[in-house]
Chain A
Amino acid sequence: MKRICAVLAVPAVLLLAGCGIQPSGVTGGGQAPAGVAPGVTLYFIDAHSRLQPQFRQTGRLGSISEALALLLTGPGYSGLRTGIAPTTVTRVGVATTPGVTEIHVPFTANEMTSLGIDQIVCTALGVHVQSGGSRSMKVRIIFTQSTPESNKLRTCPLIR
């Protein structure tokens, strides 16, 4: 009988030894988070009518709407110009869904050049990418008047 007990005790001990969570080695856990930056990059138009990034030392990256508000206030005295009509309303609404960021701008489609639209798209996409987001995200700009332009999914020519 003693022998039987001893034999039965072996699997029991094995079972107990398998209990609980054992310490492990270091394992990889995926992409590190991003989003810190000394400032934000805005996109303006240079003398050759090309999109040109402009770095603004804001101390932090901030959100897409903050960056767009800065963009709407204009390029300042930097030799660059903007394709967006001057406005006192710099607040833009930003709604992010998976794959698409919708931006509500305080303009009609006629008040913006196509370069101006690119400025908004690139600035928004730049902040999104710097926050750790995907570069394949599309941007939809929704104007104040209903127009087919509002339904277009846009990408930035500089950020591919």
Chain B
Amino acid sequence: MTWRPWPRGLRARLVVAVVLVTVLGATAAAWASARSARSALVDSARQRLAQTVAGQIGAIAPELTYPPDQGTLDRLRAAVGPNTLVTYRNLRSADDTGTEPVTGALRSAVRARHLIATQVVTAGGRPFLLVGTPIVITAPDGARTSSGIEVYTGRDLTDVEGRVDDLTRSAAYTAALALPLAVLLALLAARSVLRPVRELRDTARRLAAGDLGARSPPQGADELADLAVTVNEMAESLQRMQADARRFAADVSHELRTPLSTLMAVVDVLATAAAGMDSDARESSQLAIAETHRLVALVEDLMEVSRFDAGTARLRLEDVDVAGAVRGCLRARGWLDRVELVAPDGVVLRLDPRRLDVIVANLVGNALSHGEPPVRVQVSVSRDQVRIEVADSGPGLPQDVLPHVFDRFYKADTARPRTPGSGLGLAIALENARLHGGDLTAGNIAGGGARFTLRLPRNQEDG
């Protein structure tokens, strides 16, 4: 799996964005509240402990002899509690725990200001509050002077830290609770966006496949509804343009028919007179005759295509022996000796024999004129369909031509603009096959040569 820088699906992107925003917001809020709660907790613990220490010292101070001796300092230290250091000039009274509950910064703050000073430190992985204070001498008139006695004591903050951790944990849980909610909301939002998008996509696909009647009903009044309306308008406009083009083709071919009938009559007269002409005039008149015939064929093909487009083409169904019909088609055009026909007898199919004749004649005519001999026509029968394959032994169809062989007026060889035939033959053959409920496909044989396969469904009563 390749690493993708960002999820591509709209749903995934929406979910990721909403979850990210939610998590970041919730985390920031939780972090800020936990932080302020922590500083409030620590501050209150700091003040409480400092007050306690000051109270303990104040309670015993009037009983202390001054200037103090070692015994006095020891009494004071015992009164303040464990983890305490008391100093007076060169005298000091300390616990035998080894570590002194004092830092240089704390000591200088105590000496500089004659006030209680506190500091949070970490010792042995546990947080401690250091409280340092001088003891002052107050004169009866209120003047305060330093007594030179300093008391330093350390108080464990582990329980405060436990409460801070609880606060942080509950804040984190609250933030985590927002996560599934965010995913749910994002999925809902994605669904409301994606459903219309999916419908639009399906409509666009149907339009691309040729179903110009496809529409998507606009829902609501948002941008997606606007888009749906626009797509519908586009489809309508396409439909109108296509209908216009088809009507024009139909009208043109219809209008051409009457003058062409006249022209044909003239050409017939010309043909009977051609025998008496000199060679140049005969050649010209024969060219005129041939081109007129071609023009008539083209107009007939155009009218046939117009009938398919207008949906007015009708099947005249009869019970037809397939092998006989194919053979009859080849014989009528004088191709029997140039085409190898393999057809089992007795395959009777209910179809329109004229349209089958059109298909077979077109396929075999193409094979004879564009491919190389031998040309094979093979009729095979399976349980639910009849296959008629027309194959030649030429070079086959180029890969870039294959998808377009059934397009109208598609010219495979642009260097040869004048090909016999109207350019509509295969398109009409395909429409005829579809009219029967069958299909016509083009492909190449492994050893070379093009192969067209006509599949016709077998009659309902046989199936």
Complex Cα gap A24–B118 (Å): 9
Closest chain-A Cβ to B451's Cβ sits at a distance in Å of 49
Besides A21-B161, A32-B133, A35-B138, 6 more A-B contacts (Cβ < 8 Å) are: A15-B27, A18-B38, A28-B118, A32-B115, A34-B58, A131-B61
B203 adjacent to chain A (CB < 8 Å): no
A61 to B62, CA, bound (A): 5
The interface stretch among B63-71, B353-361, B408-416, B426-434 is B63-71
Task: State in angstroms the CA–CA spacing of A81 and B109 once bound together.
Answer: 46
Question: Contacts A61-B61, A61-B62, A62-B63; is A32 near B136 (CB within 8 Å)?
Answer: yes
Q: Is the CB of B62 within 8 A of A62?
A: yes
Determine how close the nearest CB of chain B comes to the CB of A118; give it in whole angstroms.
14
Q: Are A27 and B137 in contact (CB under 8 A)?
A: no
CB of B34 closer than 8 Å to a CB of A? yes
Is B185 on the interface with A (CB-CB < 8 A)?
no
Per-residue CB contact flags for chain B residues 131-166 toward chain A (1 = under 8 Å, else 0) read 101111111111010010100000001001100110
B127 and A20 form a contact (CB under 8 A): yes
**B276 partner residues in chain A, CB cutoff 8 A:** none
Q: Does B47 contact A (CB under 8 A)?
A: yes
Flag the segment in A3-11, A71-79, A109-117, A141-149 that touches B: A3-11
Contact A36 B64 (CB under 8 A): yes
Would you call B141 and A31 a contact (CB within 8 A)? Answer: no
| A/B interface sample: 12 pairs, CB < 8 A | A4-B19, A19-B168, A22-B120, A29-B131, A32-B116, A34-B135, A34-B136, A53-B140, A60-B64, A61-B66, A131-B61, A135-B142
Which residues in B have their C-beta under 8 angstroms from that of A53?
140
Bound Cα distance from A129 to B20, whole angstroms: 62
Chain A residues whose C-beta falls within 8 Å of the C-beta of B135 in the assembled complex: 32-36
CA A31 – CA B6 in complex, angstroms?
60
Beta-carbon contact of A36 and B27 below 8 Å: no
**A132 contacts chain B at the CB level, 8 A cutoff:** yes
Does the CB pair B140–A29 fall under 8 Å? no
Cβ contacts under 8 Å, A18 to chain B: 31, 34-35, 38, 168
B122 contacts the other chain (CB 8 A):
yes
Partner-B contacts on A (CB < 8 A): 2-4, 7-8, 11-12, 14-15, 18-38, 41, 53, 59-63, 125-127, 129-132, 135, 158-159
Judge whether B57 and A33 touch: CB under 8 Å.
Answer: yes
Specify which chain A residues have a CB less than 8 angstroms from the CB of B68 in the assembled complex: 36
Quick one: closest B residue to A53, CB to CB? B140
Given contacts A11-B24, A129-B140, contact A30 B109 (CB under 8 A): no
- Asked if B116 and A20 sit within 8 Å, CB to CB, the answer is no
B106 in contact (CB, < 8 A) = yes
Q: Across the two chains, which residue of chain A brings its CB closest to B151?
A: A33
Whether A11 lies near B23 (C-beta < 8 A) is yes
Give which listed residue, B65, B103, B136, B164, contacts A59 with CB less than 8 A.
Answer: B65
Q: Which residue of A lies closest to B56 (CB)?
A: A33
Do B61 and A36 touch (CB < 8 A)? yes
Question: In the complex, are the beta carbons of A11 and B54 less than 8 A apart?
Answer: no
CA distance A41 to B140 in the complex (A): 8
Q: Does any Cβ of A come within 8 Å of B105's Cβ? A: yes
Q: Which residues of B contact A61 (CB under 8 A)?
A: 61-62, 66
